[in-house]
């Protein structure tokens, strides 16, 4: 199964802006939440027009996906949602292979120490990925993955992305 890790150079200003805007919108009607598991909503959807700084991350993911898939960037679309994980919370095992997904990704915006690792499950094994701010991880949508418990006292924030065909 495919996975790739990349580091976005100098992510500090971008991440600070994304985090501030996410916190500003949280609790408003501009955020739609879904997937209530283990006492929290795992997915927080915000429109790209409400958080325009996300465009640079989506563009980067589409470029990498295009290279991996052998497709033009224009042939791809990116859907995204935020995953805010408070102290003591985790993300349960799941996959993204449900519709027309060609590739999945996660980008780390805010990662306090000990706030949980990404675990990718592959053919009876698992790969543990330590997140860091500015890290982008791409993986096959059929790959089961989870995030271990946030043992920090702070909020961890990432954005999950699914890449699919633009005409789908």
Query: And the tokens for 22?
Result: 């996410």
Structure tokens at 14: 């971008």
Per-residue pLDDT for 38 more than 80?
no
156: pLDDT strictly greater than 70: yes
- What is the distance between the alpha carbons of residues 126 and 117, in angstroms, rounded to a whole number? 12
φ/ψ (deg, to 5) at 134: 95, 0
Task: Using the predicted structure, report yes or no on whether residue 60 has a pLDDT greater than 80.
Answer: yes
- Looking at residue 168, its pLDDT comes to 63
> Is 149:119 a contact under the CB 8 Å cutoff?
no
pLDDT at 47: 94
pLDDT per position as a tens digit, 70-127: 999 999 999 999 999 999 999 888 888 777 899 999 999 999 999 999 999 988 899 9
Residues 6+ apart with CB under 8 A from 120: 1, 3, 126, 127, 129, 139, 143, 144, 145
Please state, for a pLDDT cut of 70, what percent of the chain lies above it.
99
pLDDT score of 137: 96
Number of separate domains in the chain: 1
State which residues form the domain around 106: 3-165
pLDDT tops 70 at residue 69: yes
Cβ pair 146, 5 in contact under 8 A:
no
Look up the CATH number of the domain holding residue 137: 2.60.120.620
Which has the closest alpha carbon to 22: 50, 59, 1? 50
pTM of the shown model = 0.94
pLDDT at 13 over 70: yes
User: CA-CA distance, 43 to 4, in Å (whole number)?
Assistant: 23
């Amino acid at each position: 199964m495919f996975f790739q890790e990349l580091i976005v150079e100098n992510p500090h200003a971008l991440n600070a802006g994304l985090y501030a805007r996410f916190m500003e919108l949280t609790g408003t009607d501009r955020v739609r939440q879904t997937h209530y598991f283990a006492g929290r909503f795992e997915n927080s959807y915000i429109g790209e027009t409400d958080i325009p700084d996300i465009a640079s991350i989506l563009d980067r993911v589409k470029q990498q996906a295009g290279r991996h898939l052998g497709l033009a960037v224009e042939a791809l679309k990116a859907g995204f949602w935020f995953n805010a994980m408070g102290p003591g919370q985790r993300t349960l095992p799941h996959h993204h292979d449900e519709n027309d997904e060609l590739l999945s990704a996660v980008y780390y915006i805010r990662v306090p120490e000990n706030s949980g690792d990404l675990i990718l499950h592959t053919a009876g094994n698992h790969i543990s990925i330590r997140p860091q701010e500015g890290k982008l991880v791409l993986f096959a949508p059929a790959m089961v993955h989870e995030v271990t418990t946030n043992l920090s006292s702070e909020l961890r924030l990432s954005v999950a992305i699914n890449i699919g065909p633009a005409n789908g």
